[in-house]
Structure 1
Amino acid sequence: MKALGRQYEERKQYLEHVKQRIKELEKNIEEIDVRHYSWEMFHKDKDNTAQMQKVERERRSLQENQEMIVKLRKENMEMAERKLELQRQVEKYSVYKDVMEKVLPQTQFKDVEELAGNLENLLCTRDKLLEKRKQVEEQTDQKKQTLQALKDQHHLMLLQKNNELSQLQAKLDKARTESRTLEKKWDHIQETAAKKVVELGQIKMAVVNLYEQTGGVVGAEGVDISDTDIQLNQIQFYMKDLNDIVKQYQMSLLEKNSDRRKQKT
């Protein structure tokens, strides 16, 4: 309201100046018109060239002054409209002034201007706080969006890891099953191998017994006890000789039986 009052006084003074200027220009126009009419009396004068030039200059000045008058009148109208607008604003805000004058005794301020300045500072502080709050809310929203994006990314990564974990668990179960199968096979192989070792030992002992029964000697004076090939060869030769002896014996029996039949016949 104080600023509007100062602006109103400035416009009022400028308007008075414009009115005074308009009066001066109108007076100059009248003087130029009088000079113009007096110029007719000297129209036939031989030395009127300078006077004509002067009148022409005055005529141009008159035209310029008329244009200036039109411009100033336009400005005057604009200033009048501005004056009315300022008066309406003063009347509009005068209500607040009355309210502040009534409130002033209940405050610690000296006058209305100081109270208005304090209110203006409070409003400015409120605007700054609102702007700061808006910035904080925007930052909070941005942080929430960033946090939500991180949560979504973490959730997606967790799903991927769970999927990989399920695949690895399936592979582990399969590997354990295969491991148990292989362990069973290995146990069977070890058990079979142990049986085979026992059987092989028994066979070797049997071969040694057969070898000794064929007349072979085992030990330092004969064949090594672990040299089964030589022992088997000796047994094979012995079996072959024995087989030949049995065949010869059988043939001799057949011949004797044949001779007996012939003698009976």
Structure 2
Amino acid sequence: MSLNVDDYFRTVYEQRLRAKVSLPDLKTGDTRKLDKLEEVKDVERVLTAQREDFRRRTESLRRRRKELDEKEEQLKESLFKFNKFLKENDAKRGRALKKASEEKDLARQKQAEVELLEQEVLVLQKRRETMRVKVQRKAVYRDFLHRVTKSSTKFGEIWELVARFDTLLATREQLLGRESEGRQLGEALRQQHRRFVDEQSDRILRYNNQLSELQTRLEQVRSLALKWEATWNHIQSISARETLLLGQIKVTTLNLFHMMGGQTDDENGVGIGDTLGQLDRIELFVQDQTGILHHLQGRDSKSDPNVNPNAK
């Protein structure tokens, strides 16, 4: 059964007042006091070791948090540089592709024009030979053309009429050739556009995968940082509770010291912040009061023969 300290002190003081006896000086020996002081020193050494271990852990956590912050900043800077590099690379590649496409188009156009001119030359040569044969075979028509030119006001000579006809025919052939060239060029451009779209789609997919991996790494780093932050908050909470408990112990010790009549404001008193000194005084006071109680109980046992001296 636990003993109420206030009731105990009150009972002892009431017995002292009723007995009206002079209390002898019953202090403990120096050996017991030295043992208690040694125990207090052991407790202080343990507390000092615990405080040093706590300080080392706190410093390690602080350094770890600083390293995580630096790594996160480096990762952000690397991601920014990588995005900038991708944009610049895409711009350069776009300009290069555009220039190459323009040069290819120009080369194809020139080649097509050369081939067209060569074809026109061959056609004209064949046509000239054909026309010569036809002229020889159909001289009757020449005579007819002579008569036509003589009767016409627009064409004075036969060659003018023939040249006009050839010009119109060549223009028709040229237009047909350009139409065919336009269809070929359009088909080539459509194929090139499809290839370009496919390449860009594959590249965007690769970049999205890389971005997803970097985001996953960033989330892992953030999760680890949150974990260490929670650990730091838990350590701070434990430290605050221990500090509060130490304060409560100091206040309780000071109250007990004042209850037993201790003084903190004179030369013979104990300092208000000296908790160990107050505990020593309280221990001596309890020992003194215990000795007084035993002494009084012994006197009562001797005065009353019916009381068992071994009874508590």
Q: What TM-score does the superposition give when structure 1 sets the normalisation length?
A: 0.44
Q: Greater relative contact order (Cα 8 A, min sep 6): structure 1 or 2? A: 2
Q: What TM-score does the superposition give when structure 2 sets the normalisation length?
A: 0.39
User: Structure 1 or 2: larger helix share?
Assistant: 1
